[in-house]
Amino acid sequence: MRIPREHRYSVYILGSLSGTLYIGMTSNLPFRVRQHKEPTFRGFTAKYVVDRLLYYETYGEVSTAIAREKQLKGWKRERKLALIEKSNPQWKDLSHGWYEKPVRTTFQG
């Protein structure tokens, strides 16, 4: 018997220092944000350096996440900004610290 793996789907908003916004959906948020930060793919986010995770929501059903992504993409900019500012008023990069290597300490006795 195979135990089904629980999937989590994230809808996210990235921003640039100049204020450009990008909305996406993924099943692996840390991996996808890292792709935007490196940037792995050429395209909109690489061209405009849109690599700061400003907002995200998580869902258990892919169809719900896709519907929410489409909904957010249909909103006017002011409404998207209000959503970000409600939960992240200082516009901090919510992925800060996700990718730093741990500091190794050695025991000195």
Task: For residue 51, tell me if it sits in a domain.
Answer: yes
**30 in a domain, yes or no?**
yes
Per the structure, the complete domain to which residue 20 belongs is given by 9-87
Q: State pLDDT tens for residues 47-85.
A: 999 999 999 999 999 999 999 999 999 999 999 999 999
The reply to whether 78 falls in a domain is yes
Cα–Cα distance between 72 and 88 in angstroms, integer? 17
- The count of structural domains within the chain is 1
| 65: in domain | yes
Q: Taking the CA atoms of the chain, what radius of gyration do you get in angstroms?
A: 17
Angle made by CA atoms 43, 45, 48, in degrees to the nearest 5? 100
Distance from C-alpha of 107 to C-alpha of 9, rounded to nearest angstrom: 41
Q: Answer whether residue 80 is part of any domain.
A: yes
Report the 10 Å Cβ neighbour count for 10: 21
Q: What is d(CA 93, CA 19) in angstroms, rounded to the nearest whole number? A: 13
* Residue range 14-34, pLDDT digits in tens: 999 999 999 999 999 999 999
Q: Return the CATH number at 82.
A: 3.40.1440.10
Nearest to 47 by CA among 10, 22, 74, 73: 22
Asked whether residue 29 is domain-assigned, the answer is yes
- Provide the pLDDT confidence category of residue 2 given band limits of 50, 70 and 90: low
Please indicate, yes or no, if residue 16 is contained in any of the structural domains.
yes
